[in-house]
Structure 1
């Protein structure tokens, strides 16, 4: 009797087994079980709304469509809609294709330039979804087919439909102004709730989490200007030199409501500001004479006079510009107020970011309670749409099996008083320890960005003295203990100043400089960015930036942390895992790769994306080198990966005189929808790199995606089961309950909690020639998280990927002429993107990016 061929379930790696290492614990997670999966066939319809408008307007059109036609044409059926193209129904509609006409009321018309109130809504049957195939997929008996994907999408649209109709939505989150808090610059931070339907082993789950984003405050435009320009009050609007270019950049595209006509609820979109004030913006007004038979005449007037004459509104601020709301339409700022519920899309500045972090940073117990609050708003039990489809969702957080992996031993220099350390709660200290291999620093200089009046030389000298003592105590060899100190203007020619201190440092000891220490007055980006551009790409030298405040009272702990950075920047090694801790690394020549691609800010179509590849350069996974390339903006796959991998494999060979036989590649920043494309392109590129080195060279490759942008969180069952921050203990690993039905993935919370709720990293294995078992890969990943070179804490994801992320962000500073001073800037007026310089070979042997 012939046996049936095995089912081909997936093109990525199937889960080899379930991990057993570590102490078993139960944890709660913000996943809620679907206790009743619909058994009906779901009817899928394609929706086309014309003319084309954004999803929020689509939903208003759809709402009026349902209100008008539900009883007649839809025969009482309540479909759900995703705001774009897809509509799902629990029952078949009495037509396969039909077009309806909807007229929107004036207050929700989408655009003052195109005030068409009439829309055509075409509904066309697309498919019928059988949920039986989804059940088979969840049980590991069927691959993820297009029918399964559509079924999951239908369930996702089903749980999102009602909140999307009631609240402001962004992606899979909806937001409410209740409990909002102000940010600077005319913004509020709103709390939101994220929800997503997730397939897991044997069951569907709903992942619910809290989220937050910035919205414009619903205030008058003069108040908005005050907040954008950080003025004291509206009286300051009479000042002559206000930066209205900055104001225009912030408010362009904002929707406003005019207040001078009380009965009108019409809204307008801002297209810009006038170059002249309301009293100086002149236009021709058509005026009827006293004689009714006479022709109307045109008279010149200005906006301020017009509003006084026509609306009896005397402007308080006639010196302010007007907003342009149409081809010729203009409104004075003070008769406009911002419509509530408009999301702020640009990058937050430093203060706004800090305030946002304070708002979102919630201890685990608080976050869990807020998630439960969100569940009450979602109200699954009383959602009529869910009832129509027969979907039921548990109101209790899922309890799942987790394990706490064993803590490794970390080795420092044998000359240390205590060379072997086992971290507690993911942290340890440097007291009594020397770095494993201390670097030598013979030639260096100190440059202070400020004046000696505010930063006395005695203060800098005392700090340098303490730093030198700490570095020598920690195992470095600082030969020149009195480097030259130079002052310079932080607003002057930074490149010239850095070249000057480089020359002085070299002349002081007649040796080529190895490090420049920079004392910075603030944490602002522009000065830091220029220092890194010049030192990284022009001088080809490592730099160490210190804030002035840390030089006033040189603390031993701070100096020790700086020492860790300096040591690896100069080629030293801070620590390693105890021998035989990681056989995979030690048994055969092995290299760890980390890769990431970062993209320019929202709305920026000029600047390129930056791809970075890092690779371990020794048998301890302690020293790394990097390759950086720019590529087409927003391209996720790494365009030059083959060339970059070849470069780093050659560097590994030069360093070790042997080619790696095994490769573990950690790829950061890839969403699930990009897995297939990234695996197809990047695994092939790596194989191409191997072949370029030698036709017969075929190391065993494992390709793992590391995800941090997800919403899975873990909560200890009781206070004793967590650390001091209330988070689960470092080393918490989960590979059942909420993971993929049959693919090889796991969640690892490798770091100790500090503030807020810790986010585990999600590891997904896409390609595996090393035949990893679950325990082995989880153990390697956790142990690697103890080897991040610039702190004495475990980190949240493996250092190769962490370094790649750091370097890709750092490489943004390597473009000449960038303006980092304006956080609102999304300048896309240049015909070409900025030119990015590469780091010279003189730095490739050291971890300059730390």
Structure 2
């Protein structure tokens, strides 16, 4: 099963369809690089070789794709032009030679070390062989513009990272430099003509094309990766930094990637933000991790666990240091006061101080670490009671003798209280972002008439960042980069028509609207409810309770939500008490006095109440099936009408109402009564970086009503970092859709005729897996229910670096200066063969908006390009808890939320916490089974409700 189809006449949106069983995917080699595509190949389809248009399609049967071939370009909307962060690059006209680079330590050494080994090999060990220089990706792939003179295509070299002594032999006490054996073997010759054929639609995206794109990406990244800290396709400079505390410093950086487009190769350049460990004495870094903001810090006591000597370090604080700093590279101060030439890596922190931590010397004597430095090294410690650092070889080093090296990227999750600082640093207005990108290429920008014009190089410091003009690697490979940003043809799609209650319909302008004088489409009735405040009447005054009560009732009335209880029960609860026990007590009390349990719990929370929030949601969603609406005390005590209106939008759908739907006139594809359609959104979220043994969570969200506005959800646990959804076929979504149509909508034909499946979070190299595994599971679920809907699969990507900029302020959004909501680009920067497009569906508020990237992988329905773009844009307008269009279709957004809330399915009393990162003594398989067993299903009352809003 592969799920591709033959396209018909361009523009018709229809074509001859095969049964899924006849579309068998073909295997192909695994892609090596970062180019587009990946996975397997689709069925062949006719396509033109003309780069500027695909209107006249010829017969090129050998060309294959992963997903659906682009049938044509969209035509709906107002035609405009936008500036993009892409720059044209010439394809080299030379042969590229591909070599495997193998060392015995390749799996153990970090990439920065292997790159230094290859650099020394080329510049010191054998410069006569490597002229011109080859480029290396840090792992397996080395590319050369000239064939290396190796006998039989392979050669082994001995490489050290230190120079040999010039005259006298090395002192006996000094160890010889480590020798690395590097074997280079020629594996392929790459004719770059394949790239020209590929971008002109004359060549499939096979392994040769992908390897050629990989080679060009390695070329442009080699120079900056040798100069700056880097992570995959990004590198970071110290030209612009911000210290945010907790031992973290933010660095501004650049992303760069060569990508194919129709008729040309492009470099996608963007700014990015890196998280770096603060460099300097480790004691000071530990101070920031533990005591950010404190002025008085005595490491002798603050970093000592010994209570007898006044030590203050607790075991939980030691674990915080260990989680935060494990893996950090340090330098060690030797006995002579000079730094060691050998770098070490923090493995963990000792549970005892240097004065108590004993080890056995080579002579067999027992000695403390502090005594060793005082006697053997003749350098007594200033803080002998402070803890030590255990490094990779098992040695224990006093913390005061360690220094954190600069430029180390932090791969762990940023603490919650620092996210705001990261967002503030990373947020840049569109023009600022574009100007920074241009400076990275060594150019400045100016506005001439209505178009940004790129001028001459300016700041020499910034001019050295991307190195396209100065890099010997770029020059030798013949990569010429045009410094003019690509202007792409775009369109602004018409806004869909939204229908609220009492026949109110309108088309929002600019991606936002308000609820003034509008009623909800299907408002609920609230008969019994209560307000629970976690705090005292001193922290949250009773006058504030009356304020939120009045505002909430007013908002309900304005939206036509009926509330029959105007004086609900109000309970103050000690924040330190057991949440579930207190909520159950309150519910039982109300039931006893009023003869009914509350229909809604409105909960007021203090700041930093993450665990309390989790316990409340576990109580409501999992244990007792009572909708809960949480509000922060700091916000609701002064909330305006808009704030409480937004609260009511959430409450209405949680209890079972519908806020608004798409009008049939503007979303005929979705609400066609002759073709009942179920819209699905699916996502997988993985454990945070540094977590060990934590599972991934998969979610599936789907519409059940005819208006594609009411959704249900399911969530499952699966193996860590497994992207494909393992149990998609058993998520009982289709049955819920048919039950709703039969019972609530009284439809005789309850089965869907169309499934539109939006998949979030998969990379291009995983597209084939979606078709081979997830499409097959959807088809299996349909077969078991004996239904045969036509299936369309669309991948929605957010983790990319494509940005769209208006050419001037007049063409952009007046407030945010971004492109206007509804801006779609499906040419100039899109794939040469496959059906993809970029859609900016929301009105930006802060910074530069990111368009969503849509890839159509499978389409039994034969939708036109305009139809897919229109209903994708329309679905961004039915996000229930907002009066703004959102950046991705509502079901995809909901799937993200359901995954994020998966941790609420675990009891707060359970010792399994998906947020923790400590490893367990049990094996990974056993721990996964524990997580699956302890994962509690939704309460039956919540399975048909939008509890996730």
Tell me if the contact between 2:389 and 2:398 (Cα under 8 Å) persists in the aligned partners.
yes
1:333 equivalent among 386, 399, 407: 399
C-alpha separation between the residues in 2 aligned to 1:625 and 1:672?
28
C-alpha separation between the residues in 1 aligned to 2:61 and 2:495?
39
Q: Residues 265 and 611 (structure 1 numbering): CA distance in 2 closer, same or farther, change over 3 Å?
A: same
Partner SS state of residue 556, structure 2: helix
Task: Give 1:303's aligned residue.
Answer: 369
Q: CA deviation at 1:799?
A: 0.4
**After superposition, what is the alpha-carbon deviation per residue over 1:660-689, rounded to whole angstroms, capped at 9, x for unaligned?**
111111111111000001111111111111
Q: Are 1:671 and 2:763 counterparts?
A: yes
C-alpha separation between the residues in 2 aligned to 1:298 and 1:87?
49
Q: Are 1:256 and 2:330 counterparts?
A: yes
What is the number of residues matched between the two proteins?
825
Q: CA deviation at 1:610?
A: 1.1
C-alpha separation between the residues in 2 aligned to 1:631 and 1:585?
32
Q: Residues 339 and 475 (structure 1 numbering): CA distance in 2 closer, same or farther, change over 3 Å?
A: same
Q: Residues 765 and 283 (structure 1 numbering): CA distance in 2 closer, same or farther, change over 3 Å?
A: closer
**After superposition, what is the alpha-carbon deviation per residue over 1:5-53, rounded to whole angstroms, capped at 9, x for unaligned?**
733432421111101111111110001111x211211110010022231
C-alpha separation between the residues in 1 aligned to 2:255 and 2:538?
52
**After superposition, what is the alpha-carbon deviation per residue over 1:686-740, rounded to whole angstroms, capped at 9, x for unaligned?**
111111111xx21111100000000000000001011111100000000000101
Task: Give 2:668's aligned residue.
Answer: 583
Q: Are 1:472 and 2:548 counterparts?
A: no
Q: Are 1:766 and 2:821 counterparts?
A: no
Q: CA deviation at 1:820?
A: 10
C-alpha separation between the residues in 1 aligned to 2:889 and 2:637?
35
Tell me if the contact between 1:484 and 1:508 (Cα under 8 Å) persists in the aligned partners.
no
C-alpha separation between the residues in 1 aligned to 2:704 and 2:177?
63
Q: Residues 563 and 268 (structure 1 numbering): CA distance in 2 closer, same or farther, change over 3 Å?
A: same
C-alpha separation between the residues in 2 aligned to 1:106 and 1:520?
63
Tell me if the contact between 2:653 and 2:880 (Cα under 8 Å) persists in the aligned partners.
yes
Q: Are 1:105 and 2:144 counterparts?
A: no
Gaps of 5+ in 2: 1-57, 165-174, 303-310, 443-464
Q: Are 1:601 and 2:655 counterparts?
A: no
Q: CA deviation at 1:584?
A: 1.0
C-alpha separation between the residues in 1 aligned to 2:324 and 2:59?
64
Task: Give 2:14's aligned residue.
Answer: none
The correspondence of residues 708-723 of structure 1 with structure 2, limited to 5 A, is 708-723=798-813
Q: CA deviation at 1:302?
A: 3.2
Task: Give 2:116's aligned residue.
Answer: 60
2:353 equivalent among 277, 295, 308: 277
Q: Are 1:45 and 2:135 counterparts?
A: no
**After superposition, what is the alpha-carbon deviation per residue over 1:439-483, rounded to whole angstroms, capped at 9, x for unaligned?**
111122221111222222332133123202211221101111222
The correspondence of residues 729-748 of structure 1 with structure 2, limited to 5 A, is 729-748=820-839
Tell me if the contact between 2:698 and 2:899 (Cα under 8 Å) persists in the aligned partners.
yes
C-alpha separation between the residues in 2 aligned to 1:620 and 1:393?
49
Q: Are 1:693 and 2:785 counterparts?
A: yes
The answer to which of 521-530 and 170-179 deviates more is 521-530
C-alpha separation between the residues in 1 aligned to 2:87 and 2:178?
42
Gaps of 5+ in 1: 108-113, 287-296
Q: CA deviation at 1:281?
A: 2.4
Tell me if the contact between 1:445 and 1:504 (Cα under 8 Å) persists in the aligned partners.
no
Task: Give 1:165's aligned residue.
Answer: 226
Q: Residues 4 and 544 (structure 1 numbering): CA distance in 2 closer, same or farther, change over 3 Å?
A: closer
Tell me if the contact between 2:603 and 2:630 (Cα under 8 Å) persists in the aligned partners.
yes
C-alpha separation between the residues in 2 aligned to 1:26 and 1:787?
28
Tell me if the contact between 1:349 and 1:823 (Cα under 8 Å) persists in the aligned partners.
no
1:403 equivalent among 491, 508, 525: 491
Task: Give 1:20's aligned residue.
Answer: 75
**After superposition, what is the alpha-carbon deviation per residue over 1:255-296, rounded to whole angstroms, capped at 9, x for unaligned?**
11112431633211222222221222244567xxxxxxxxxx
The correspondence of residues 595-674 of structure 1 with structure 2, limited to 5 A, is 595-644=682-731, 645-654=733-742, 655-656=744-745, 657=747, 658-674=750-766
Tell me if the contact between 1:704 and 1:765 (Cα under 8 Å) persists in the aligned partners.
yes
The correspondence of residues 36-435 of structure 1 with structure 2, limited to 5 A, is 36-52=90-106, 53-74=109-130, 76-95=131-150, 96-105=153-162, 117-230=178-291, 232-233=294-295, 235-237=297-299, 238-239=301-302, 240-242=311-313, 243-260=317-334, 261-262=337-338, 264-283=340-359, 301-325=367-391, 329-376=395-442, 377-414=465-502, 419-435=504-520
C-alpha separation between the residues in 2 aligned to 1:688 and 1:94?
55
Q: Residues 459 and 71 (structure 1 numbering): CA distance in 2 closer, same or farther, change over 3 Å?
A: closer
Tell me if the contact between 2:701 and 2:891 (Cα under 8 Å) persists in the aligned partners.
yes
C-alpha separation between the residues in 1 aligned to 2:636 and 2:722?
43
**After superposition, what is the alpha-carbon deviation per residue over 1:785-843, rounded to whole angstroms, capped at 9, x for unaligned?**
11110010000000011111111111122122467999774444455243211112211
Task: Give 2:797's aligned residue.
Answer: 707
C-alpha separation between the residues in 2 aligned to 1:284 and 1:715?
65
The answer to which of 234-243 and 38-47 deviates more is 234-243
C-alpha separation between the residues in 2 aligned to 1:627 and 1:822?
18
Q: CA deviation at 1:586?
A: 2.7
Task: Give 2:12's aligned residue.
Answer: none
C-alpha separation between the residues in 2 aligned to 1:245 and 1:106?
40
C-alpha separation between the residues in 1 aligned to 2:918 and 2:433?
34
Q: Residues 685 and 106 (structure 1 numbering): CA distance in 2 closer, same or farther, change over 3 Å?
A: farther
C-alpha separation between the residues in 2 aligned to 1:246 and 1:496?
30
Task: Give 2:446's aligned residue.
Answer: none
Task: Give 2:944's aligned residue.
Answer: 845
TM-score normalised by structure 2 residue count: 0.84
C-alpha separation between the residues in 2 aligned to 1:124 and 1:455?
71
Q: Residues 825 and 607 (structure 1 numbering): CA distance in 2 closer, same or farther, change over 3 Å?
A: closer
Tell me if the contact between 1:405 and 1:733 (Cα under 8 Å) persists in the aligned partners.
yes
Task: Give 1:292's aligned residue.
Answer: none
Tell me if the contact between 2:654 and 2:945 (Cα under 8 Å) persists in the aligned partners.
yes
Q: CA deviation at 1:347?
A: 1.2
C-alpha separation between the residues in 1 aligned to 2:245 and 2:592?
48
Tell me if the contact between 2:573 and 2:582 (Cα under 8 Å) persists in the aligned partners.
yes
Q: Residues 830 and 227 (structure 1 numbering): CA distance in 2 closer, same or farther, change over 3 Å?
A: farther
Q: CA deviation at 1:627?
A: 1.5
Tell me if the contact between 2:671 and 2:708 (Cα under 8 Å) persists in the aligned partners.
no
TM-score normalised by structure 1 residue count: 0.93
C-alpha separation between the residues in 1 aligned to 2:861 and 2:472?
50
Task: Give 1:33's aligned residue.
Answer: 88
Tell me if the contact between 1:409 and 1:422 (Cα under 8 Å) persists in the aligned partners.
yes
**After superposition, what is the alpha-carbon deviation per residue over 1:296-322, rounded to whole angstroms, capped at 9, x for unaligned?**
x87654333432344453433222111
Q: Are 1:803 and 2:859 counterparts?
A: no
Tell me if the contact between 2:692 and 2:919 (Cα under 8 Å) persists in the aligned partners.
no
C-alpha separation between the residues in 1 aligned to 2:591 and 2:162?
74
Q: Residues 752 and 675 (structure 1 numbering): CA distance in 2 closer, same or farther, change over 3 Å?
A: same
Q: Residues 647 and 491 (structure 1 numbering): CA distance in 2 closer, same or farther, change over 3 Å?
A: farther
Q: CA deviation at 1:328?
A: 5.2
Q: CA deviation at 1:590?
A: 1.1
Partner SS state of residue 378, structure 1: coil
Q: Are 1:790 and 2:881 counterparts?
A: yes
- Over the aligned positions, Cα root-mean-square deviation in angstroms equals 2.2
The correspondence of residues 477-492 of structure 1 with structure 2, limited to 5 A, is 477-492=562-577
Partner SS state of residue 382, structure 1: coil
The answer to which of 606-615 and 674-683 deviates more is 606-615
Q: Residues 4 and 481 (structure 1 numbering): CA distance in 2 closer, same or farther, change over 3 Å?
A: closer
Q: CA deviation at 1:361?
A: 0.6
Tell me if the contact between 2:694 and 2:917 (Cα under 8 Å) persists in the aligned partners.
no
